[in-house]
Amino acid sequence: MFVYSVKTSKSKIAVLIIAIIAIIVAVVTVIGKSDSPAAANPTVNLKAENAEQRAAFLSQFGWKFSQDPVEVTEIIIPSDFSLGYSEYAEMNKAAGFDLEPYKGMRAKRWTYDILNYPSYEDKTGYVQANILVCNGIVIGGDICSLEQNGFVHSFEFPTQSAPTTAANAKQ
């Protein structure tokens, strides 16, 4: 059996306790912070590991869409955002999706035909949803028109027909 004794003062114990509390607060802060959009909007379900979860993701915004994706492709989020991609990233960031932490990473883009876009209900193939998925979590995406002077916006269901956005004005 070993016995170890330490002679210390109350001030040293107080400093030790303060240091331990500071470390605990730092760890909790780092763990509480997340690079995922779930941290920005905890009410939005971001799971996208399978078809049912991707369907649930789009449905929570009110979208009706083709059950089978039009396209599934692997993409690489650019390491350096060009002007166009910077605007896309800003649109996503405003919607609670930060693409910055995913620069240079591989993701999958799932594309679905939207069936209930206002003023496009009877036109199939004109409006699509793109969901960017990394490690089974939605990290971004958009709703877009395939028309020549189309539109691009976040997943929120529009309150009126085809929105006028900065992206539209530039095309």
Q: What is the pLDDT of residue 124?
A: 85
Q: What is the pLDDT of residue 129?
A: 97
Domain boundaries, the chain: 37-170
Distance separating alpha carbons of residues 131 and 139, to the nearest angstrom: 8
Q: In which residue ranges of the chain is pLDDT below 70?
A: 1, 6, 25-42, 160-171
Render pLDDT for 12-57 as a digit per residue (tens, 0 to 9). 777 777 877 777 766 655 554 444 444 445 578 899 999 999 999 9
The DSSP letter of residue 102 is G
Q: What is the pLDDT of residue 64?
A: 96
- Closest by alpha carbon to 17, among 28, 9, 5? 9
Task: Record the tokens describing residue 120, joined without a space.
Answer: 């496009």
Q: What is the pLDDT of residue 28?
A: 59
Query: 0.85 cut: is pTM over it?
Result: no
